[in-house]
Homo-oligomer: A and B are copies of this chain.
């Protein structure tokens, strides 16, 4: 047998053992998930004892297939995207043994949902400008400040938190990274309503919130380094899977054009087709990017993909409203809701148009992405800046 076959055989044995001991048909969902974690079959690329087996990430796909075939429950990863995608790898990389043991299991099972307390009203693109202060009081930190753009905050048990612990050193060096208890009385969550009417995100107000020093992740003053590791994991998520032609936003307009000939206008055709071509080229560029990664040539194209995706969704939804004419003047519902899961496409054309505006802001604005491409890919000089070497407290704000 090849090594690969040996690994697969071993995984099969482990999965069979798990299924035998915990029949998905009868055992409680949460009990099954805990057992899966303890069997190292949660994320096999994590270390043994922490839900994994120290294998490569790709093997998890095989495990998932076996489990799905057996009717096993999954951990509903969309409900805890920040926890699984950002908090977990950061805890694994920077956490103490105690932190790993405490947090990773309930995170993975979804018993404890996580959120992220990074952005602030004054620290958007310039994340290193966070002003939320954490002041040491014995073996706890007292935290004050305001965070924004926090999804799932109202459901989260824990948050990863970036706060300023030393204002007397330059901005990048005076931050620390914490795990914050969202049930602390000093934490207040308010829904942050968007232009679509709904509140996907929250504002979080921290008023003398207390965080034990044992919940610090990484060394004091090393928060920027830890946060960057977190953000790297965010960017890895972009790219996604292969999708068929017209599976993206262009599919809605194409469907309208095909099924409603009364809305077709010759003067709109060239714009429709330009966007169709661009959407298809973008889709194929995703394929090419995945091929490059698979061939061991990872590149910086992810930033370019995101730029293109944002521009296209905006242009396409804008055209859609014009094509629809009268229907484009109507909207489905302005009622404020707090959706569990974001869906860019699930609602009506007006919603798609408005929601698409966020695509060029969230997860790195298009402007910041252009800077990144210019500086990292094209090796052009960085922006002149005056905030790098002077103490945080002396930077003009």
Contact = CB atoms under 8 A, between A and B. Distances in A.
Copies in the complex: 2
A384 B381 CA distance: 14
Interface stretch (A55-63, A158-166, A263-271): A263-271
A16 B269 CA distance: 66
Contacts of A271: 270
Contacts of A269: 266-267
Contacts of A266: 266-267, 269
A384 B387 CA distance: 13
Nearest to A266: B266
Which 4 residue pairs spanning A and B have beta carbons closest together?
A384-B384, A267-B270, A266-B266, A267-B269
A268 B269 CA distance: 10
Interface in A315-337: none
Nearest to A265: B270
Interface string A266-299: 1111110000000000000000000000000000
A72 to B, nearest CB: 54
Interface string A178-199: 0000000000000000000000
Most buried by B among A268, A270, A271: A270
A81 B384 CA distance: 41
Interface string A132-144: 0000000000000
Interface residues of A, number: 7
A286 to B, nearest CB: 28
Interface in A355-397: 384
A48 B75 CA distance: 93
9 contacts: A266-B266, A266-B267, A266-B269, A267-B269, A267-B270, A268-B270, A270-B270, A270-B271, A384-B384
Given A267-B270, A384-B384, 7 more contacts: A266-B266, A266-B267, A266-B269, A267-B269, A268-B270, A270-B270, A270-B271
A266 B267 CA distance: 7
Interface in A79-116: none
A269 B267 CA distance: 7
A384 B382 CA distance: 12
A267 B270 CA distance: 6
A271 B267 CA distance: 9
A136 B269 CA distance: 68
A266 B268 CA distance: 10
A385 B267 CA distance: 47
A98 to B, nearest CB: 47
Interface in A197-233: none
Interface in A247-274: 266-271
A273 to B, nearest CB: 8
A270 B271 CA distance: 9
Interface in A5-27: none
Contacts of A384: 384
A319 B269 CA distance: 17
A370 to B, nearest CB: 16
Nearest to A384: B384
Contacts of A267: 266, 269-270
A382 to B, nearest CB: 12
A270 B265 CA distance: 11
A228 to B, nearest CB: 26
A266 B271 CA distance: 12
Contacts of A268: 270
A267 B384 CA distance: 46
Nearest to A269: B267
Nearest to A271: B270
